Amino acid sequence: MEVLSKFYVFDDIVDVLRVKSLSTSKLNAGAFMQDTQSTPTPPPSFSQLDDSLKPLQPLASSSQSMLIYYEHVALAERYVKLQQERVSAQARVAELKRSLQEQRAIRRRNEQLMREYQRLADENEDYIQMKESLERQLGEVGLPVC
Protein backbone atom coordinates (compact mmCIF):
# COMPACT_ATOMS: atom_id res chain seq x y z
CA MET A 1 0.00 0.00 0.00
CA GLU A 2 1.08 3.53 -0.78
CA VAL A 3 0.29 6.71 1.09
CA LEU A 4 -0.80 9.60 -1.08
CA SER A 5 -2.06 12.87 0.36
CA LYS A 6 -3.75 14.31 -2.74
CA PHE A 7 -4.14 13.31 -6.35
CA TYR A 8 -5.62 15.63 -8.94
CA VAL A 9 -7.69 14.30 -11.80
CA PHE A 10 -8.28 16.68 -14.70
CA ASP A 11 -11.89 16.23 -15.81
CA ASP A 12 -11.63 18.40 -18.86
CA ILE A 13 -8.75 19.12 -21.22
CA VAL A 14 -10.23 22.47 -22.12
CA ASP A 15 -11.08 23.55 -18.58
CA VAL A 16 -7.85 22.83 -16.70
CA LEU A 17 -8.92 25.05 -13.83
CA ARG A 18 -11.75 22.72 -12.87
CA VAL A 19 -9.90 20.12 -10.83
CA LYS A 20 -11.31 17.53 -8.49
CA SER A 21 -9.24 16.78 -5.47
CA LEU A 22 -9.17 13.27 -4.18
CA SER A 23 -8.08 13.20 -0.55
CA THR A 24 -6.91 9.87 0.71
CA SER A 25 -4.77 8.90 3.64
CA LYS A 26 -4.04 5.39 2.48
CA LEU A 27 -4.61 4.49 -1.12
CA ASN A 28 -4.23 1.16 -2.75
CA ALA A 29 -4.76 0.20 -6.35
CA GLY A 30 -8.02 -1.50 -5.41
CA ALA A 31 -9.66 1.88 -4.88
CA PHE A 32 -9.26 2.65 -8.57
CA MET A 33 -9.70 -0.78 -10.10
CA GLN A 34 -11.79 -3.75 -9.25
CA ASP A 35 -9.17 -6.42 -9.81
CA THR A 36 -5.58 -5.45 -9.07
CA GLN A 37 -4.12 -8.51 -10.73
CA SER A 38 -5.75 -8.10 -14.15
CA THR A 39 -4.90 -5.66 -16.89
CA PRO A 40 -7.78 -3.25 -17.56
CA THR A 41 -9.58 -3.49 -20.89
CA PRO A 42 -9.54 -0.26 -22.92
CA PRO A 43 -12.94 1.29 -23.71
CA PRO A 44 -14.43 0.57 -27.16
CA SER A 45 -14.02 4.22 -28.16
CA PHE A 46 -10.25 3.66 -28.27
CA SER A 47 -10.60 1.90 -31.61
CA GLN A 48 -11.13 5.39 -33.07
CA LEU A 49 -7.87 6.70 -31.63
CA ASP A 50 -4.57 6.86 -33.42
CA ASP A 51 -2.16 4.34 -31.90
CA SER A 52 0.08 7.15 -30.66
CA LEU A 53 -2.81 8.51 -28.56
CA LYS A 54 -3.88 5.23 -26.97
CA PRO A 55 -2.78 4.77 -23.36
CA LEU A 56 -0.12 2.18 -22.73
CA GLN A 57 -1.15 -0.77 -20.61
CA PRO A 58 -0.30 -0.11 -16.95
CA LEU A 59 1.66 -2.27 -14.59
CA ALA A 60 -1.09 -3.98 -12.62
CA SER A 61 1.19 -4.22 -9.60
CA SER A 62 1.77 -0.44 -9.45
CA SER A 63 -1.02 1.76 -8.13
CA GLN A 64 0.70 4.87 -9.53
CA SER A 65 0.85 3.24 -12.98
CA MET A 66 -2.84 2.37 -12.69
CA LEU A 67 -3.72 5.93 -11.66
CA ILE A 68 -1.80 7.36 -14.61
CA TYR A 69 -3.46 4.85 -16.92
CA TYR A 70 -6.97 5.76 -15.75
CA GLU A 71 -6.14 9.46 -16.04
CA HIS A 72 -4.94 8.84 -19.59
CA VAL A 73 -8.10 6.82 -20.33
CA ALA A 74 -10.26 9.73 -19.12
CA LEU A 75 -8.30 12.20 -21.25
CA ALA A 76 -8.48 9.92 -24.29
CA GLU A 77 -12.23 9.46 -23.87
CA ARG A 78 -12.61 13.24 -23.61
CA TYR A 79 -10.49 13.62 -26.75
CA VAL A 80 -12.70 11.17 -28.67
CA LYS A 81 -15.80 13.01 -27.47
CA LEU A 82 -14.35 16.38 -28.52
CA GLN A 83 -13.43 14.98 -31.93
CA GLN A 84 -17.00 13.73 -32.39
CA GLU A 85 -18.35 17.14 -31.35
CA ARG A 86 -15.96 18.81 -33.80
CA VAL A 87 -17.20 16.61 -36.65
CA SER A 88 -20.80 17.39 -35.70
CA ALA A 89 -20.02 21.11 -35.53
CA GLN A 90 -18.35 21.00 -38.94
CA ALA A 91 -21.41 19.27 -40.40
CA ARG A 92 -23.63 21.94 -38.83
CA VAL A 93 -21.42 24.71 -40.27
CA ALA A 94 -21.69 23.14 -43.73
CA GLU A 95 -25.46 22.89 -43.34
CA LEU A 96 -25.68 26.54 -42.25
CA LYS A 97 -23.51 27.63 -45.19
CA ARG A 98 -25.82 25.81 -47.62
CA SER A 99 -28.83 27.40 -45.96
CA LEU A 100 -27.20 30.83 -46.15
CA GLN A 101 -26.46 30.36 -49.86
CA GLU A 102 -30.08 29.34 -50.45
CA GLN A 103 -31.33 32.38 -48.54
CA ARG A 104 -29.05 34.67 -50.53
CA ALA A 105 -30.28 33.14 -53.80
CA ILE A 106 -33.90 33.64 -52.68
CA ARG A 107 -33.13 37.24 -51.68
CA ARG A 108 -31.50 37.93 -55.07
CA ARG A 109 -34.51 36.42 -56.87
CA ASN A 110 -36.92 38.49 -54.74
CA GLU A 111 -34.95 41.66 -55.49
CA GLN A 112 -35.01 40.82 -59.20
CA LEU A 113 -38.78 40.24 -59.06
CA MET A 114 -39.29 43.53 -57.19
CA ARG A 115 -37.31 45.42 -59.85
CA GLU A 116 -39.33 43.75 -62.60
CA TYR A 117 -42.57 44.56 -60.75
CA GLN A 118 -41.53 48.20 -60.36
CA ARG A 119 -40.58 48.40 -64.05
CA LEU A 120 -43.95 46.95 -65.07
CA ALA A 121 -45.82 49.24 -62.65
CA ASP A 122 -44.00 52.27 -64.12
CA GLU A 123 -44.76 51.05 -67.66
CA ASN A 124 -48.42 50.58 -66.70
CA GLU A 125 -48.54 54.12 -65.29
CA ASP A 126 -47.07 55.44 -68.56
CA TYR A 127 -49.77 53.56 -70.54
CA ILE A 128 -52.52 54.95 -68.30
CA GLN A 129 -51.21 58.50 -68.78
CA MET A 130 -50.93 57.92 -72.56
CA LYS A 131 -54.55 56.62 -72.65
CA GLU A 132 -55.80 59.64 -70.69
CA SER A 133 -53.88 61.96 -73.01
CA LEU A 134 -55.34 60.28 -76.11
CA GLU A 135 -58.85 60.44 -74.63
CA ARG A 136 -58.39 64.20 -73.98
CA GLN A 137 -57.20 64.70 -77.56
CA LEU A 138 -60.23 62.78 -78.87
CA GLY A 139 -62.50 64.93 -76.70
CA GLU A 140 -60.84 68.11 -78.01
CA VAL A 141 -61.50 67.17 -81.64
CA GLY A 142 -65.07 66.17 -80.84
CA LEU A 143 -64.81 62.42 -81.29
CA PRO A 144 -66.53 60.12 -78.82
CA VAL A 145 -64.35 58.31 -76.27
CA CYS A 146 -64.92 54.57 -76.14
From the list 74, 64, 56, the residue with the least C-alpha distance to 31 is: 64
pLDDT 10s digits, 66-81: 999 899 889 988 999 9
**At residue 11, what is the residue type?**
D
pLDDT 10s digits, 87-105: 999 999 999 999 999 999 9
What is the mean predicted confidence (pLDDT) over 24-39? 43
Give Cβ neighbours of residue 60 (< 8 Å, ≥ 6 apart).
29, 36, 37, 38, 39, 66
Give yes or no for residue 18 having a pLDDT over 90: no
The model's pTM is 0.52
